[in-house]
Amino acid sequence: MSTYAAPLKDMRFVLNELAGLAEVAKLPGFEEATADTVDAILEEASKFAAGVLDPLNRPGDEQGSVWQDGAVAMPIGFRAAYRQFIEGGWNALPLDPDWGGQGLPKLVATPVEEMWIAANMSFSLCPLLTQGAIEALILRGSDHLKSTYLRKMVEGTWTGTMNLTEPQAGSDLSLVRTRAERRGDHYRIFGQKIFITYGEHDLADNILHLVLARTPDAPEGVRGISLFLVPKYLVRSDGSLGERNDLRCVSIEHKLGIHASPTAVMAFGDKGEGAVGYVVGEENKGLAYMFIMMNAARFGVGLEGVAIAERAYQRALAYAKERLQGKDLVEGAKTVPIIRHPDVRRMLMLMKAQTEAMRALAYVVAGAMDIARRHPDVAMRNRNQAFVDLMIPVVKGWSTETSIEVASLGIQVHGGMGFIEETGAAQHLRDARITTIYEGTTGIQANDLIGRKIAREGGATAKSYLEQLRQIDSELARSQHEDLRALRPHFAAGIQAVAESVDWLLATFDKDVRAAAAGSVPFLKLMGVVAGSWQMARAALVAEKKVAVLDGDEAFYRAKIATARFYGDHVLVQAPGLKNTVVGGASGVMALAEEQF
């Protein structure tokens, strides 16, 4: 049975060599994020993930959370673990010191969050959603809302949710029907929400629901949606908990995965008087505010892809070293562990290489988020924000789609035992499967990528991003290392594939938006595959220098170089094919009339 061990070596390498931790630590307010402090945080977090969260993962999956009479009981051990989690200050790690947070950079919080997810994805969803709610309140909440709710949320004694979805309003939030009626200084909320993660549970004393709803005189569509804070328990003026609000969890869903995470159907205003709610920011601007939460949450879900891939890889690797089957192709004679077989190696390398590529991209984006928030130079902030905006759908869409592939390979490495729940490999695939759906499906991410992030700004950010890739390409061209020389033509072809696809999208989007949309998911994949290769190439170039001067762990650096080459030969090689699909594949997509299906 494999236990989770945080990949600290790779995390540190990416933080220091690729994502610019030293630069981030120079930003105002981040001075405490020195290499030593960050090391200590990572060590402690890895112990908590391995010692407290990982042992609850399997039992949590088996037991699931349980609904009874409107209340939800979490699986055994979750309450104690959550208490330890908040007492250890983990909830507050990246949050604003003004409200009791530790104010560490996003870049430092990212590997820590990766560990929580890898160890126990169901558990990690509760703090993820609370964080999103905190961000929305900090940016748009009134002083009263902030002073009433934020400290407890940052502490983690109260948790947050995101209530968007209704039966008729999923990807299309313009169809939201939940009603909010003005009553003096507050509102009364009526309606039903579905699929609400941690909408009800027994981990915290209060649950603050951020709810999208419409006032009676609101304009149609997305322009008429407002955001409300609706507490499970009303809060008295002295901060203590008062009456139970008119909202309840009607049921929770039975799902393919993340069994321990309660997915609630919520009814607001069932008793007739309506649930008391408070508007966040201004009326009718709710969707824009929700995007604040959604961007953070989309990044968080992308990180789920990285984490689940890592966990699936570790489990498959442990199995491949133990399972004896077949003879070595060359040495013959005795039965060997399956890791000796080239095809098993190929699968493990596909898992390892893609996971490392996704991790590096996610951390680089996290570092850019810090610069976009804190850098003293406005041009630098804007440039980094544009890069983050471009990459959020890629981190979300590509990392999650790839995590499903990686988790599925993990099952394949196990053979029949992968299909049997006992080994734990199947849970990763079941858990990973939601990540391409919530926080906007891959199709929705891809629409965002080609529309808002590329066509709307004439491809400016995409083109300056391509310049960064070209610089790495010229560094690769100067390398004498055999593996880097082998990677280079694939990398150059990858850059070319993205550049041609961007040009085609810019020329096509306004003329024939259906054709552009038909290739949007292949384009998102192309962006991910190439962005991953950018990071693998950077990693290999750093490793090449380290090996030359024998600086540090030679085996690790040599593995980085070999893994980058593998990524080029087995993953990046797809880039020109994906480009062909983007620019030439539209006609077949829409060719059939609906009756022909």
Q: Which residues have a catalytic role annotated?
A: 439
Applying CB under 6 A, which part among 33-41, 438-446, 489-497, 535-543 lies near ligand FAD?
438-446
| Candidate residues 19, 53, 162, 505; the one interacting with ligand FAD per rule CB under 6 A | 162
CB of 129 to ligand FAD, least distance (A): 6
Element (DSSP H or E) covering residue 85: helix 78-87
Size of the site for ligand FAD (CB under 6 A): 19
3-state secondary structure of 259: coil
Q: Which of 400, 402, 447, 535 binds ligand FAD (CB under 6 A)?
A: 447
Residue number, nearest CB to ligand FAD: 170
What's the sign of the alpha-carbon dihedral 35, 39, 41, 45?
A: positive
8 Å CB contact between 63 and 260: yes
Among residues 253 and 343, whose Cβ is nearest to ligand FAD? 253
Question: How far apart (Å, rounded) are the C-alpha atoms in residues 449 and 523?
Answer: 9
**Cα–Cα distance list, 387 to 283, 384, 394 (Å):** 30, 5, 11
Asked if 208 is part of the footprint of ligand FAD (rule: CB under 6 A), the reply reads: no
The residue range among 54-62, 193-201, 326-334, 415-423 that interacts with ligand FAD, by the rule CB under 6 A, is 193-201
Neighbour tally for 185: CB within 10 Å: 8
Are 558 and 543 a contacting pair, CB within 8 Å? yes
**Of 108, 104, 95, nearest in space to 29 by CA:** 104
Interaction of residue 443 with ligand FAD, rule CB under 6 A: yes
Q: Which is nearer to ligand FAD, 280 or 575 (CB)?
A: 280
| Of the candidate residues 163, 295, 399, 435, the single one contacting ligand FAD (CB under 6 A) | 163
Q: Rounded CA gap, 572 and 192, in Å? A: 45
> Which neighbouring-strand residues pair with 97?
none
Residue nearer to ligand FAD on the CB measure, 44 or 172: 172
Which residue's CB is nearer to ligand FAD, number 107 or number 297? 297
Q: Closest distance between ligand FAD and the C-beta of residue 537, in Å?
A: 32
Q: Which of 130, 206, 245, 263 binds ligand FAD (CB under 6 A)?
A: 263
Of 193 and 560, nearer to ligand FAD (C-beta) is 193
Residue whose CB is less far from ligand FAD, 209 or 565: 209
Task: Check binding of 430 to ligand FAD (CB under 6 A).
Answer: no
In sequence order, the 6+-apart residues with CB closer than 8 A to the CB of 61 are 122, 257, 259, 260, 427, 431
Between the alpha carbon of residue 79 and those of residues 36, 69, 84, 85, 201, the distances in Å are 32, 19, 9, 10, 10
Question: Out of 444, 530, 572, 578, which residue is the one contacting ligand FAD (CB under 6 A)?
Answer: 444
Cα distance between residue 446 and residue 220, in whole Å: 25
Q: Is 451 in the site for ligand FAD (CB under 6 A)?
A: no
516 token code pair: 């552009």
Print the binding letters for residues 382-421 with ligand FAD: x by CB under 6 A, - otherwise.
----------------------------------------
Q: β-strands 275-279, 186-197: how paired?
A: antiparallel
167-186: which residues touch ligand FAD (CB under 6 A)?
Answer: 170-171
The nearest distance, CB 425 to ligand FAD, in angstroms, is 21
Nearer to ligand FAD, 316 or 450 (CB): 450
Site for ligand FAD contains 284 (CB under 6 A): no
- Shorter beta-carbon distance to ligand FAD: residue 300 or 367: 300
Under DSSP, is residue 324 helix (H, G, I), strand (E, B) or coil?
A: strand
The answer to the question of residue 159 lying near ligand FAD (CB under 6 A) is: no
Does residue 581 contact residue 519 with C-beta atoms inside 8 Å? yes
| DSSP track, 117-132 | HHH-HHHHHHHHHHHH
Answer for the pair 456, 417: CB distance below 8 angstroms, yes or no.
no
Contact 276, 186 (CB under 8 A): yes
Residue 131 binding ligand FAD, by CB under 6 A = no
What are the residues binding ligand FAD (CB under 6 A)? 162-165, 170-171, 195-197, 255, 263, 434, 437-438, 440-441, 443-444, 447
